[in-house]
């Protein structure tokens, strides 16, 4: 249950609020691994599509103090120890933050702090054909790995978060989730290139 609680806490942090968060607390039903089939989920109104192990649940809210910024999350669990989430941060037209190194590091650092994990690796990453950013963090106490991929596009910033037991990152499923992500109905805007992948200083 540690992973479920971590995911919920961090979703609240990203939003900068502790209220109005709709989360389905019901436990996922056990499924035979052989019967589990990933499905593509498309959210045309949010401009993306991605594959999840099951239909994701949606939560949506306005971000306190930053209105009219809207944060939406699409989350799916594989059993009770692995979670896949797409977070969509929607800014007013022309108000999206500049996707530079400092912006990416701020998001990754916030995630690492609230998940009690440490950053193992971070740096530039091409995601869905766009200049983006990716980080891997490790939660030693709970023995969890986290992969955070960030994709800016127009007035939206997408965060693809995959977390699971030790060894989850790298894994075929973690990469499958990230690589399944694609933008829909929106012309990709060029973004400034950032530095090559790096490992943080000890």
Mean per-residue pLDDT pooled into runs of 10, the chain (202 residues): 47 36 39 63 93 90 68 87 92 85 91 88 92 92 90 92 87 89 67 39 41
Pull the structure tokens for residue 10.
């961090």
Paired sense of beta strands 82-90 and 118-127, if any: unpaired
* pLDDT given at position 23: 38
The confidence score (pLDDT) of residue 29 equals 45
Backbone phi, psi, residue 106, to 5°: -60, -45
Please choose, from the candidates 190, 128, 194, the residue with its C-alpha nearest in 3D space to the C-alpha of residue 160.
128
Backbone angles phi, psi at 149, to 5 degrees: -115, 135
Write down the pLDDT at residue 69. Answer: 76
Total residues found in the chain within this entry: 202
The pLDDT assigned to 127 comes to: 92
Domain ranges of the chain: 2-15+49-149+163-183
DSSP for 56-119? PEEEEEEPTTSTT-EEEEEEEEETTTEEEEEEEEE--TT-PPP--HHHHHHHHHHHHHHTT-EE
């Amino acid at each position: 249950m540690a992973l479920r609680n971590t995911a919920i806490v961090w979703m609240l942090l990203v939003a900068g609020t502790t209220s109005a968060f709709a989360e389905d607390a019901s436990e996922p039903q056990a499924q035979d691994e052989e019967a589990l089939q990933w499905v593509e989920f498309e959210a045309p109104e949010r401009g993306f599509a991605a594959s999840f192990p099951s239909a994701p649940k949606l939560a949506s809210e306005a971000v306190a103090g930053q209105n009219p910024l809207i944060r939406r999350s699409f989350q799916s669990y594989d059993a009770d120890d692995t979670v896949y989430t797409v977070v969509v941060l929607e800014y007013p037209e022309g108000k999206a933050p500049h996707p530079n190194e400092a912006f990416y590091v701020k998001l990754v650092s916030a995630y690492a702090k609230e998940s009690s994990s440490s950053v193992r690796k971070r740096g530039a990453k091409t995601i869905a054909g766009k200049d983006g950013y990716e980080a891997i963090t490790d939660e030693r106490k709970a023995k969890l790995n986290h992969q955070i991929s960030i994709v800016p596009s127009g007035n939206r910033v997408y965060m693809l978060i995959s977390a699971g037991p030790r060894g989850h990152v790298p894994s075929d499923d973690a990469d499958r989730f990230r690589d399944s992500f694609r933008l829909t109905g929106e012309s990709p805007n060029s973004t400034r290139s950032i530095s090559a992948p790096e490992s943080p200083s000890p």
